[in-house]
Structure 1
């Protein structure tokens, strides 16, 4: 039985408020800094109250960008990041769910060995295999292209493992009933397995979208054409200008705008995620 003590209630609320403040204060600073002119940062101190240049800063970043950084307008970079995040998220889910389906429901030689080989790749992140991956992409002529940004990051051992665990919990009687009704493997996959996996697909989409959106090292290596710059790498280029002081108001404006798509995806997919849990309970 949980005890309700006023002191513990106050303490837990204080800890919660402090935690939220620590997390949100940098976001608040970025939002405030994006409303000031560049001269407001000449003293090295970030103002704590809003300024009157928010409209001009956001219009400038979405329009012409910062010419001194060599980065294109923020709208183009956010479009590139959106394409990259969507292709990575949808590609990972599509490849992972089909590979898990093959491993669980098809009997072929070395089936378990194939799964463990996929699972072992968890120990080989992109940073470890970055040089051979870059060489392959360069040899295939995929530098400065959306294919070069996305294809090397599509495979996912984690998602394959999660879908495999979901499929293993589905009763064999369901598969036998579908077979008796004349459903083939792909109809069983399309009409039964995919609807039952919608909750996992929603959760994975959120995680993988944010993973693709926040990519920094790989886009920095494979893109030298400004038309394919992503927003995270673009923000880094804005902050690292040569022989000049960074225009922090524009940098923080880019940071605030770059946070919006992941936040919107989390908010939108959260409702779908909860709906999937409720239907699963029924």
Structure 2
């Protein structure tokens, strides 16, 4: 027998969800509004909650010209650097993890389990722990102020390798035998069978890894010295000055809004595959 719920029991979950959305969305709303006002209006702490008339000028200066008092590079360049870095990290991590998991699961070679556990142990060694030797190697190889220097030290992923390994172990052995009967080699089995089955896993990991690469701060701060190589996260930090110079808050707010757009678009575009990759047990 289905019990009838009271009005409060039906409304309360929605009120909690709406309250949570309001708490999360209010800072975003302030950034949107702040980009439409002059810097002096924001700096005096009396910014209204209604839009102003400086939106077009703020976004034009942010994307094309750049803030005059801090960095000489426009936000458009920083967005391109961040997007390129995030894409290379996400695609590179997925590609390397797929191949390493494929080797560990389907190939028989000496010390196979030891190799997997060596990969797994690197989870305890994030880039922050090995920051000095990693920087030293990158500097010795001439990777400072290069896209290779921004991406290569971050491109391996033990987490993605573990996830793909666990998924490959659920693939029925009959598929392997069928591929052998059809005369397919290991790489043909990998590309024709495993990759299509791993599509939702790759989509879910791509969203997570893209946001991971987009939000990187410490490594780009160390590896880049030129303004034309800095990422959007570094650019926002440099725009907020602590000296006597007045921070161009309308440019900062406009830049913060622009910095949110690529990750949000990635999540929206890949939402269905992302959810399926996280919740479905059989692909």
Q: After TM superposition, is the score higher than 0.5?
A: yes
Question: Are 1:253 and 2:254 counterparts?
Answer: yes
C-alpha displacement of 1:276: 7.2
| Residue in structure 1 matched with residue 176 of structure 2 by the alignment | 175
- Please, what is the CA RMSD of the aligned residues? 1.9
In structure 2, the residue matched to 1:154 is: 155
Query: By how many angstroms is 1:242 displaced?
Result: 3.3
Aligned equivalents of 1:134, 1:95: Cα separation in 2: 22
Q: Would the alpha carbon gap of residues 278 and 243 (structure 1) be closer, same or farther in structure 2, given more than 3 Å must change? A: closer
Residue 227 of structure 1 and its aligned partner are, at CA, apart by 1.1
Task: State the distance in 1 between where 2:82 and 2:182 align.
Answer: 45
Report the counterpart of residue 90 of structure 1 in structure 2. Answer: 91
Cα offset, 1:273, TM superposition: 3.8
Residue 7 of structure 1 and its aligned partner are, at CA, apart by: 1.7
Number of residue pairs the alignment of both structures matches: 282
Question: In structure 1, how many angstroms separate the alpha carbons of the residues matched to 2:148 and 2:243?
Answer: 31
Query: 1:192-246 CA distances to partner (integer Å, 9 max, x unpaired)?
Result: 0000000000000000000001111110101001110100000000012533121
Question: Partners of 1:201 and 1:209 in 2: how far apart?
Answer: 12
SS of corresponding position for 2:69: helix
Q: Tell me what 1:35 maps to.
A: 36
Give the structure 2 partner of residue 130 of structure 1: 131
Preserved CA contact (<8 Å) 2:210 2:263: yes
Aligned position for 2:140: 139
> Quick one: structure 1 residues 2 and 29, their matched pair in 2 at CA, closer, same or farther if it must change by over 3 Å?
farther
1:67 alignment partner, SS class: coil
Matches of 1:140 and 1:10 in 2, distance apart? 61
Aligned to 2:108: 107
Comparing 96-105 with 12-21, greater Cα deviation is found at 12-21
User: 1:8 and 1:278, CA in 2 relative to 1: closer, same or farther beyond 3 A?
Assistant: closer
1:48-76 residue CA offsets vs partner (Å, 9 max, x unmatched): 11111111100111111012112410000
Q: Residue in 1 aligned with 2:198?
A: 197
What do residues 54-111 of structure 1 show as CA deviations (whole Å, max 9, x unaligned)? 1110011111101211241000000000110000000000000000000000000111
Gaps of 5+ in 1: none
In 2, Cα distance between the equivalents of 1:51 and 1:173?
A: 65
Output the CA distance in 2 between the equivalents of 1:242 and 1:79: 29
Pair 1:229-2:230 in alignment: yes
Residues 202 and 269, structure 1, Cα contact 8 Å, conserved in 2: yes
Of 96-105 and 69-78, more deviation after overlay is shown by 69-78
Q: 2:13 & 2:276 partners in 1: Cα distance?
A: 29
Distance 1:61 1:120, change over 3 A: same
**Which shifted more, 76-85 or 42-51?**
42-51
Provide the rounded CA distance (Å) in 2 between the counterparts of 1:79 and 1:163.
Answer: 30
Residues in 2 aligned to 1:213 and 1:128: alpha-carbon distance in whole angstroms: 20
Point out 4+ residue stretches in structure 1 off by more than 6 angstroms: 275-282
Give the TM-score normalised by the residue count of structure 2.
Answer: 0.95
TM-score, normalised relative to structure 1: 0.95
**Is contact 1:71-1:229 (8 Å) kept?**
no
Q: Which has the larger displacement, 33-42 or 181-190?
A: 33-42
Q: CA deviation at 1:262?
A: 0.4
